[in-house]
Chains A and B, each alone.
Chain A
Amino acid sequence: AQSVSQHNHHVILSEAASLELGCNYSYGGTVNLFWYVQYPGQHLQLLLKYFSGDPLVKGIKGFEAEFIKSKFSFNLRKPSVQWSDTAEYFCALETGGFKTIFGAGTRLFVKA
């Protein structure tokens, strides 16, 4: 069965530090991959997505993610985080049907 693993449940960084959140998935076929973000008090919203083409995907607010098929990974990165990036981040997998499988989420806290 398909699954998504996010290795870090909580991450604490200082402003200007670099960020990398891990995401690995379990599925042998073609995948569509997403990162969603939930800022405090706000709805879940899309950060970026990959479905074909360049494996390095750029999203909103300076975030990017790289799809590495051989590693079944889709890690999220940002070179320099800001206090406003404090949020919960979810990696998600879609395999061609109508269902999206979400990871457990990573809570990021950025210290000002």
Chain B
Amino acid sequence: SQTIHQWPATLVQPVGSPLSLECTVEGTSNPNLYWYRQAAGRGLQLLFYSVGIGQISSEVPQNLSASRPQDRQFILSSKKLLLSDSGFYLCACQRGGGTETQYFGPGTRLLVL
């Protein structure tokens, strides 16, 4: 079964600094990959998804970007962090669309000060 790794687990960054969160997947090939932000009382907000290497779809225009340099690697980035970027970021993978289950990583808690 799929295993999703995310690092770092926790990150404290100053406003205006860059960001790079990494997600890697084991146990499957050519997965669909997702970045979500989870906020208390607001559920999971889909930020980006990717159906293949170099293919990124953005759901919410904002200060973040994503890249997929390899089949099982998904990176969330920012050039300059804002206070509002603080949150809990989850990476997920899915073998196909539709009825397939999404598998989630442990998440990264980001605090921007």
Residues of A in contact with B (beta carbons under 8 Å apart): 4, 6, 9, 32, 34, 36, 43-46, 49, 51, 90, 94, 96-105
Contact = CB atoms under 8 A, between A and B. Distances in A.
Interface of B is mostly: strand
Nearest to B39: A104
Given A98-B32, A99-B49, A104 B99 contact: no
13 contacts: A4-B43, A34-B101, A43-B104, A44-B44, A45-B103, A94-B99, A98-B57, A98-B97, A102-B44, A102-B46, A104-B42, A105-B41, A105-B43
A43 B106 contact: yes
A36 B90 CA distance: 14
Contacts of A94: 97-99
Contacts of A43: 104-107
B86 interface: no
Nearest to A97: B97
Contacts, number: 55
A63 B49 CA distance: 30
Contacts of A46: 101-102
Given A44-B90, A99-B59, A49 B101 contact: yes
